Amino acid sequence: MKKIIGLIVCLALVVILKNPISIGMMYVVDFIGNTFNITTVEVIDFLNEIYYL
């Protein structure tokens, strides 16, 4: 029973926190891409897909 409650709490946290984490990761990836002049389009697209799930 404790495992089920723990799993439900973890899933709820992932659902609640996935958008701020995705936006933060997009910012970090964009900053790294601009700093080192590399293309990060694929990574940003992937993070955008996670954001809209």
What are the pLDDT digits (tens) for 4-46? 999 999 998 888 888 898 889 999 999 999 999 999 999 999 9
Is the per-residue pLDDT at 51 higher than 90? no
Find out whether 29 and 47 touch, Cβ atoms under 8 Å.
yes
How much is the pTM?
0.71
Q: What is the pLDDT of residue 31?
A: 93
Residue 25 in domain = yes
Residue 8 in domain = no
Residue 37's SS3 state is coil
Report the domain count for the chain: 1
Residue 48 in domain = yes
Q: Angle CA(34)–CA(47)–CA(43) in degrees, nearest 5?
A: 45
Residue 11 in domain = no
Residue 53 in domain = yes
**Domain membership of residue 30 as a residue range:** 17-53
Find out whether 26 and 33 touch, Cβ atoms under 8 Å.
no
Measure Cα distances from 35 to 26, 28, 29, 41, 52 in Å: 14, 10, 10, 15, 27
